Chains A and B, each alone.
Chain A
Amino acid sequence: MSQIINRRRFLQGTATAGALLAAPGIVRAQGARELVIVSFAGSLQEPHQWLARRMEQKHPGLTIRLVPSESQDVVAQIKAAQGYSPFDAMPNGEPPHLIAIADKYIERLDPAKVPNAANVVPSLMEKSQGYGVPASYSLIGIAYNTDLVKAPPTSWKDLWASEHKGQVGIPRASSNLGLGFLVAAAKTFGGSETDLAPGWAKLKELQPRVGRSPTQLLQMLEREEIAMAPIWNNDAAGAAAKGLPIRFVKPEPGPIAVVSFMSAIKGTRHPDLVDEWMNEILSAEYQAMAANAPYFFGPTVAGVEVPEAARDYTPADAGEVAKLQTVDWSRIAPQRGAIVEEFDRLFAS
């Protein structure tokens, strides 16, 4: 008998203790809101962190969780969640942005709720096709290891120079970087977005070492496995800022500019907060901060000054802006799967 009472008391006691322990969390949860935003990895996440802290201060009880991730696995999670996305907003380069619009997992922009969108450079705003906001742009150029390369490359063709045969790294064609470089190679040697054959032929001729991601390419440069590689300006800037012997060049006839959009994910629990997040991304203060060292995200808002420190990484004058190459991603995005397969047939089989 006493054993039963003891057991009962024990269970009652445990339940009470559990409730007491959980109570503060439950009470806290009543006023708590959490915004989950996909972000960049490493130091490139810092501008987002800065903005997140600012919004958290403005809205007591709000927590902004930044998830560093490649957009690829995030998309797989969003699709698997079937309308119950674990994320509220995400950045996308142009190819995945077009895929996201076609696959209907990002929300259309309501310009009335994001007033700063009116300040965006009109040609960049057009590229968003009415979804999300153009947050920044980045350049695909060439990064090289200064210990290995004495005569820095000046044009895309220099990747094929005989003295660096076998020492050039390229990204897989599954990434935006890889797709952009494939188009750059095709255009450099007489092809185009609709005629990638010259690009494929030149990639094969290059006998490259292949990095699985931009980060892996940078590590290969650092370890002197490769001497040069096509890379994002922001990634090259981050590596150089750490003191690594890595430099970035904007190759002739021009680096490839790729716009990055910030978009609300369909079914977000906090559409108003996401609109505010996008509006803040387009604020002059955020844009100027992200455009500065060591991030060098190209500003998309008219009138934001490009700092002197960004001269090596972003277009320094009107002449350089005119040289920027853009890609007709509407031709490339739909055949991304086929391009990845072609890449594996050429290099991985």
Chain B
Amino acid sequence: MTDAVLTQPRRLGFARRVIDGGGLWPAVPALVYLVLFMVLPIITLLTFGFVTIDRGAITDGGFTLTHIAGVLGDPLVWNLMWRSFWIAVVSTCLTLVLAYPIAYAYGHLKGVWRTLLLVAIISPLLTSALVRTYAWIVILGGRRGLLNQTLLSLGVIDQPLQILNTSTAVVMGMTQIHLPFMILPLLAVLSERDRRFEEASLNLGASQVETFFRVTIPMTMPAIVAGFALVFAVSYTNFIIPQLLGGGNYSTLAVQVYEQTIVVLDWSRGAALATLLLTTCFAFVLAIVSVGGRLTRWSEVRR
């Protein structure tokens, strides 16, 4: 028997390394597509916030901070940013509260029930968010809405509830429509977790509740953080739901971007607002991820 001899891997030549590409080549078509159709248009749009546009063309004035300063100095913009943030936080927390039990149940179900639950979770994603938002209009809308009709006919209320075209309707819509984005990351982690940790906790005398809060939840913290960041980002930047369920006197930062770009046709202000929306969303998501990083620090291997 001879000892295995560990040899250094042969260093590749420069040309070979380029051809090899470190596994990057298969991703090139997607990267080119993203750069051409997402990164460049976004850069163009954001640039519009720092130039003046008149009659669809950039004027000779060159680089200016007037538009971004105008946006940052406008109390209306700060009010709407606060509303966007608040609505996103509330609906994200609600999705977490509703999604966790579903993902937990999925981990405990077997066979056909498990498949049925998965279909129920995924099926809303097969219809457009617009259709689902319209469904909420049918449910909540006025005296003839399903909810009010039911409550009125049961004699629970005398006057129809005013839910549509309020913040409540926006939160309800956002929570339901974004629910799958919270369930799916939780589901992956909860169904694959190592149950022996929970068994050990129970064997050591902890109650079911203690085990859930001190073992199960910390184990799923990475999924909670991922789901929270994802749902927060899509809620903060969503403009269809506030537009349709909030009514004409309800606005958010994302709705303002649409209004200024498409309705008022002030592209410079629209772009300045889009810059604000993008950067604040990025900052909030970064904050969520860094707080999440602290909460899951225990799981890191000590060096």
Q: Is the CB of A73 within 8 A of B142?
A: no
**A225 to B137 Cα, complex, angstroms:** 11
Determine the distance from Cα of A104 to Cα of B251 in the docked complex, in whole angstroms: 31
Over the window 273-285 of chain A, the binary record of Cβ atoms lying under 8 Å from chain B Cβ atoms (1 yes, 0 no) is 0000000000000
Report whether B262 and A76 are in contact in the complex, using a CB–CB cutoff of 8 Å. yes
* A28 is an interface residue with CB less than 8 A from chain B: no
A residues in contact with B251, CB < 8 Å: 344, 348-349
Residues of A within 8 A of B259 (CB): 174, 340, 344
* Set of chain B residues within 8 Å of A208, measured between Cβ atoms: 249
Contact B79–A210 (Cβ < 8 Å): no
With CB as the reference atom, state the residue of chain A lying closest to B247. Answer: A210
Instruction: Determine the distance from Cα of A224 to Cα of B144 in the docked complex, in whole angstroms.
Output: 7
Task: Report the interface size for chain B: residues with CB under 8 A from the other chain.
Answer: 33
Known: A223-B144, A224-B142, A224-B160. A337 touches B266 (CB 8 A): yes
- Judging by beta carbons under 8 Å apart, are A341 and B76 in contact? yes
Decide if B265 touches A76 in the complex (CB within 8 Å).
yes
Q: Does B155 contact A (CB under 8 A)?
A: no
Q: Residue of B at shortest CB range from A340?
A: B264
Q: Which residue of B lies closest to A82 (CB)?
A: B56
With a cutoff of 8 Å between Cβ atoms, the chain A residues found around residue B24 in the complex are: none
Report whether B243 and A223 are in contact in the complex, using a CB–CB cutoff of 8 Å: no
For B83, the closest partner residue in chain A by CB is A349
Nearest Cβ distance between residue A228 and chain B, in whole angstroms? 14
Q: Knowing A340-B259, A348-B80, say if A209 contacts B145 (CB, 8 Å).
A: no
Residue of A nearest to B270 (CB): A76
Contact A212 B248 (CB under 8 A): yes
Q: Are A349 and B264 in contact (CB under 8 A)?
A: no
Rounded to whole angstroms, the CA-CA distance of A345 and B145 in the bound complex is 30
Would you list which residues of chain A between 162 and 197 have a CB under 8 Å from chain B?
170-172, 174
**A-contact bits for B236-275, CB 8 A (1 contact / 0 none):** 0000000110011111000010010111111100000000
* A57 in contact (CB, < 8 A): no
Q: Any chain A CB within 8 A of the CB of B165?
A: yes
Q: A209-B165, A224-B160, A349-B80 are in contact. Are A72 and B248 (CB under 8 A)?
A: no
What are the residues of chain A within 8 A of B142 when measuring CB–CB?
Answer: 220, 223-225
| Contact present for B57 and A76 (CB under 8 Å) | no
In the complex, whether A10 has a CB less than 8 A from a CB of chain B is: no
Total interface residues on A, CB under 8 Å, equals 36
B132 on the A face (CB < 8 A): no
Question: Given the complex, which residues of A lie within 8 Å of B243, measured CB to CB?
Answer: 212
Residues in chain B near residue A239, CB distance under 8 A: none
Name the CB-closest residue of A to B143.
Answer: A224
A75 contacts B by Cβ under 8 Å: yes
Per-position 1/0 for A66-109, Cβ under 8 A of B:
00000011011011101000000000000000000001110000
Q: Which of B56, B76, B145, B256 meets A223, CB within 8 Å?
A: B145
Does B10 lie at the interface of the complex (its beta carbon under 8 Å from any beta carbon of A)? no
Residues of A within 8 A of B144 (CB): 222-224
Q: Which B32-58 residues have a C-beta within 8 angstroms of A? A: 55-57
Best-buried of A79, A105, A222 by chain B (most CB within 10 Å): A79
Cβ of B265 and Cβ of A349 under 8 Å apart? no
B227 at the interface (CB under 8 A from A): no
Q: Is the CB of B76 within 8 A of A82?
A: no
Chain B residue at minimum C-beta to C-beta distance from A343? B249
Chain A residues, Cβ within 8 Å of B265: 72, 75-76, 79, 337
> Is A172 in contact with B248, judged by CB distance below 8 angstroms?
yes
Is A216 among interface residues, defined by CB-CB distance under 8 A?
yes
> Is there a chain B Cβ closer than 8 Å to A336's Cβ?
yes
In the bound complex, CA of A336 to CA of B164 (Å) = 28
Of A73, A76, A211, which is within 8 A of B247 by CB?
A211
- What's the minimum C-beta distance from B245 to chain A, rounded to whole angstroms? 11
Find residues 150-201 in chain B having any chain A CB closer than 8 Å to their own CB: 160, 162, 164-165
Interchain CA distance A312-B280 in the complex, whole Å: 52
For the complex, is B222 an interface residue (Cβ under 8 Å from A)? no
Q: A347 contacts the other chain (Cβ, under 8 Å)?
A: yes
Known: A172-B248, A212-B247, A341-B76. A73 touches B56 (CB 8 A): no
CB of A71 to closest CB in B, whole Å: 10
CA distance A83 to B296 in the complex (A): 55
A171–B259 alpha-carbon span in the complex (Å): 14
Known contacts A103-B55, A223-B142, A344-B251; 20 additional CB pairs below 8 A are A72-B262, A75-B265, A76-B262, A78-B56, A79-B56, A172-B248, A172-B249, A209-B247, A210-B247, A212-B243, A212-B248, A216-B247, A220-B142, A224-B143, A224-B160, A337-B266, A340-B259, A347-B248, A348-B250, A349-B79
A-B contact pairs, 11 of them (CB 8 A): A79-B56, A211-B248, A216-B247, A220-B141, A224-B142, A224-B143, A340-B259, A340-B264, A344-B251, A344-B259, A348-B249
